[in-house]
Structure 1
Amino acid sequence: MHKTTNRRRTLAALAAGLALAALAGPASAQAPYPNKPIRLIVPFVPGGVTDASGRLIADALGRRLGQQVVVDNKPGASGNIGSAQAAQAPADGYTLLLGFDGTLVINPHIFAKVPFDTQKDFVPVGKIGDATLILVAHPSLPANTLQDVIALSKTQPLAYGTSGIGGTPHVAGEMLAQRTGARLEHVPYKGGGQAMTDVMGGAIPLVYTAVAGAHAHVKAGKLKAIAVSSARRSSSLPDVPTFAEAGVPDFVVDSWVGLLAPAATPPAIVARLNTELNAVLNDPAVRDKLAVLGIEPRPGTPDQFRVAMQRDFAAYGPIVRKAGIRLE
């Protein structure tokens, strides 16, 4: 009898435990997102335009989500190191990546080995915006239009500087050469500022860079603006034609930045983040601050961002291979 009573008590205790677990399970599963700080991996050093855009979005997004979005700089290997860490993070919505086109759609074509798969390891949350690129020249260059530059380069090869090897401006310059027959020689610099100094000093004739870095020098007459490679003219330099307007049709190359999450992040979390990101990008104060960085906000859906990434990934591969751009 004693054994039977103990057995009944044990079974009753187990049943009660299971009932409590059943009640606790849904409550845990339904905990509101986010309920703790979110980490935003920025795969570059602090202080650049990409980092500044990430910090701006992190601050505004954190206010809307009710949780701090903490920027975590993980530089190295042209963004590959930080991007790989984001790809390997738990897919729970608490680790995000500030994605950059150079890292995600150009690096895979340039590096012999990349520690992530852009199309399989990430889910797009949304594009933040496009940074307009511009081709500028030393004022003494005897070429005032893009067609002048192309024609002049066929009589004497012209050097153009960019920040590093394999960045979007570098690939855009190779694309221009391949599309038009222009004879352009790439000169890599450690940073855009050094390239700008050299072109203003007359050491090189051309620089392909972001409008934000060249704007003040163009306005001051220290640089001559040739054309922007965006689909539309830059709002900060409205008198400068696009490449298409300057006679190279369907030539559109922007440098973009956006938010991504590890691939298995729940769709509901991705949707929430996208909604809040778009609200941030429609905030006039945020738009004004992005404009100072030379970034045109591009609110949209995750699918729109995915399609844009796939398009750029496919477009840049043949250009990189033909140009022979390679890094170990």
Structure 2
Amino acid sequence: MPNRRPFLAAALLLPGLARAQAPEPWPSRPIRILLAYPPGGSTDVLARALAERLTAAFPGASFVVENRPGGGAVPGTLAAAQAAPDGTTLALGNNQTHAANAAMLRDLPYRPVEDFTPIFRLAEVHHALVVPASSPAKTLAELAARGRAQGLTYASSGVGSASHVIAESFVRREGLKATHVPYRGGAQAVTDTVAGVVDAFVSTWPQVVTLVQDGRLRCLGIGAPARLPELPEIPTFAEAGAPYMAVDAWFGLFGPARLPQAVVEKLAAVLPGLLAAPEMVQRLATLGFTPAPMGPTEFAAFQKAELARWAALVELTGIRIDG
């Protein structure tokens, strides 16, 4: 009679092998959120607020922000694209990392769509065009008329920045004579606009809102879909005749390509509630962010539309950051 003991032993081992090979539940290990920007800025504050609330939402898990700044946000974003798709690495991306860079850089080492899994759009920030309080231009049309007649100077927070591209689209579409004055960041650009060193600056709204409220800057248009309740005298760009300038900065959560659908679904299920929590809404408001929740499918379509929008802006303006 054949010896059945080896077969019996193997059968007894099979359930253990199945358990050993079963995928571990997510999240069961620390999760890093890669951020291609330095600590301390508003994007970093957003990332840390998100990590804190995700840690609370998933008991036993820890979400930690890892800053990878520099290089036009390319190296940090590339690191996220190259990470293992096991749910232990996510990325907080934005309009630069996942749309504009593809149009601005000819040799971008990652693919914004194919190399990532869009999980959830989180928030947005509007851009606004401001002029010195002493400027004779009271409307965007008056500023354009001045630019056509005698020329003007406009600041930006850097060559290839959103402030540069949006302002240059205004210059090109309205046929203005204008000189670009780039700065290293928005702080000095704001200071020189207040002082009248330059004639105009397209800034993120949080950067200038206090100066507009204090009367030190005049806002001629903002990229919001409707007028702001707290400053109803400021027209939207659409109302001012320049709807093409309503290009928001946006922020979203991504994973590497082939991120398990279960991970995407778990995150997408909790994020709407986290963004809607009163303390999170207040935190975002203090930074100038507006919650802009968008689930995975809608976010993926939105990102593709943004890629097309930025490609058109670069074609119109001719602005590139790699020559």
TM-score in same-fold range (> 0.5) = yes
Aligned amino acid, residue 167 of structure 1:
S
2:33 pairs with 1:40:
yes
Q: Pick one of 154, 160, 169 that aligns with 1:160.
A: 154
C-alpha offsets along residues 273-324 of structure 1, whole Å, 9 cap, x if unaligned? 1121111111111011111111110112112211221111101212213322
Distance 1:46 1:285 in 2: 22
Q: 1:1-328, aligned counterparts within 5 Å?
A: 9-25=5-21, 28-29=22-23, 31-66=24-59, 67-249=61-243, 251-328=245-322
Superposition deviation, residue 53 in structure 1 = 1.2
C-alpha offsets along residues 184-236 of structure 1, whole Å, 9 cap, x if unaligned? 43222111111111111221111111111101111111111111023223455
Distance 1:23 1:231 in 2: 53
Tell me, what secondary structure is at the counterpart of 1:154? helix
2:166–2:245 Cα contact (<8 Å) kept: no
Aligned amino acid, residue 13 of structure 2:
G
Tell me, what secondary structure is at the counterpart of 1:310? helix
Distance 2:11 2:62 in 1: 41
Aligned amino acid, residue 57 of structure 1:
L
Greater Cα offset, 209-218 or 58-67: 58-67
Distance 1:55 1:152 in 2: 44
Distance 1:282 1:96, change over 3 A: same
Q: CA RMSD in A?
A: 1.9
1:134–1:209 Cα contact (<8 Å) kept: yes
Greater Cα offset, 208-217 or 231-240: 231-240
C-alpha offsets along residues 132-170 of structure 1, whole Å, 9 cap, x if unaligned? 111111112110111111111101222221212222222
1:215–1:236 Cα contact (<8 Å) kept: no
Aligned amino acid, residue 14 of structure 2:
L
Distance 1:83 1:16, change over 3 A: same
Structure 1 spans left out of the alignment, 5+ residues: none
Distance 1:172 1:149, change over 3 A: same
Aligned amino acid, residue 47 of structure 2:
G
The alignment-based identity, stated in percent, is 36
Aligned amino acid, residue 126 of structure 2:
T
Distance 2:262 2:114 in 1: 19
Structure 2 spans left out of the alignment, 5+ residues: none
Aligned amino acid, residue 39 of structure 1:
R
Query: TM-score under structure 2 normalisation?
Result: 0.93
Query: TM-score under structure 1 normalisation?
Result: 0.92
Distance 2:86 2:271 in 1: 17
1:171–1:316 Cα contact (<8 Å) kept: no
2:95–2:251 Cα contact (<8 Å) kept: yes
1:40–1:58 Cα contact (<8 Å) kept: yes
Distance 1:19 1:91, change over 3 A: same
Greater Cα offset, 93-102 or 248-257: 248-257
Distance 2:18 2:89 in 1: 29
Tell me, what secondary structure is at the counterpart of 2:114? helix
Superposition deviation, residue 12 in structure 1 = 4.1
Superposition deviation, residue 88 in structure 1 = 0.7
Superposition deviation, residue 251 in structure 1 = 4.5
2:34–2:76 Cα contact (<8 Å) kept: yes
1:42–1:74 Cα contact (<8 Å) kept: yes
